[in-house]
Amino acid sequence: MKIAILTGAGISAESGLGTFRDVDGLWTQYDLNEVATPEGFARNPALVHDFYNARRANCAEASPNAAHAALAALAASAHDVTLITQNIDDLHHRAGSPDVIHMHGELMRALCAQCDARWDAPLVMSTQDPCPACRAEATRPDVVWFGEIPYHMDAIAHAVATADLFVAIGTSAEVYPAAGLVELAQGQTLEINLEPSARANAFDAHRFGPATQAVPAWVA
């Protein structure tokens, strides 16, 4: 069976990484316009680097959980699995999932805003870090902010449209284009979440519960 899976912050919540829109989420502590837009970065790059440096430290201390492990086991089965994540953490990779598609970029990668070069990010980044390719002091996290185009959209749309089953896990479905992917699905659709998302009505089936229980139960 061909399966396309979209994960969001909820799958990493039980690893100790904050979600965005839950009651204690990151957007209740930070103004997204200041830390997750190109305009915010232009206004105050140090603030944005502090935000991502703290999240990089948090991620380095975190470990993959049973939900990440279950998806890695599914990828190793006879099914043809495409794993798409909105998360910038590397927990799917560390759990053993191959070829993870990071549509919102990667916390552990750096991007030169001047020449588009990419490299492995140090744990602590600053705009003064020179680009290894062009030497410009224009270093930013390699993540997709509001108003920017998510990565790998053609491959993602193809994987979702040709899958026998599309599964969305731990995402509020508040952010597009990820939230609209369910509309592209031609096969069955399943949502796994703590509670119904903003697009819950678009799914054929639901499993509600914490990801560390609901995902292994679905994969089993």
Note whether 171 binds ligand BJW by CB under 6 A: yes
* Among positions 81, 150, 185, 199, the unique one binding ligand BJW when judged by CB under 6 A: 150
Strand order in the sheet with 139-143: 118-120, 105-112, 139-143
Residue 12 in contact with ligand BJW, rule: CB under 6 A: no
Q: Is 104 one of the catalytic residues?
A: yes
Beta bridge partners of 105: 143
Site for ligand BJW in 15-44 (CB under 6 A): 19-22, 25, 36
Catalytic residue among 102, 104, 158, 206: 104
Closest distance to ligand BJW from the beta carbon of 93 (Å) = 16
The Cα–Cα gap between 2 and 130 comes to 43
Residue 193 engages ligand BJW in binding (rule: CB under 6 A): yes
Q: Is 184 annotated as a binding residue?
A: no
The least CB distance from residue 14 to ligand BJW, in Å, is 5
Q: Does 9 bind ligand BJW (CB under 6 A)?
A: yes
Alpha carbons 125 and 184: distance in angstroms, whole number: 37
Q: Residue 115 is encoded by which pair of tokens?
A: 């020449």
Residues 6+ apart with CB under 8 A from 153: 103, 177
- Spell out the residues 6+ positions from residue 165 whose beta carbon is closer than 8 angstroms to its own: 1, 2, 3, 4, 187, 188, 189, 190
Closer residue to ligand BJW in complex, CB, 31/135: 31
The CB-side HSE value for 142 (13 A sphere, CA atoms) comes to 21
- Decide: is 194 part of the binding site for ligand BJW (CB under 6 A): yes
The minimum distance between CB 82 and ligand BJW, in angstroms, equals 17
Residue 13 in the binding site for ligand BJW (CB under 6 A)? yes
Nearer to ligand BJW, 41 or 145 (CB): 145
Helices and strands (H and E) in the chain: how many: 9, 9
Q: Which residues contribute to the site for ligand BJW (CB under 6 A)?
A: 8-10, 13-14, 19-22, 25, 36, 86, 88, 104, 143-150, 153, 170-172, 174-177, 193-195, 197, 210-211
Residues annotated as catalytic (active site), given as ranges? 104
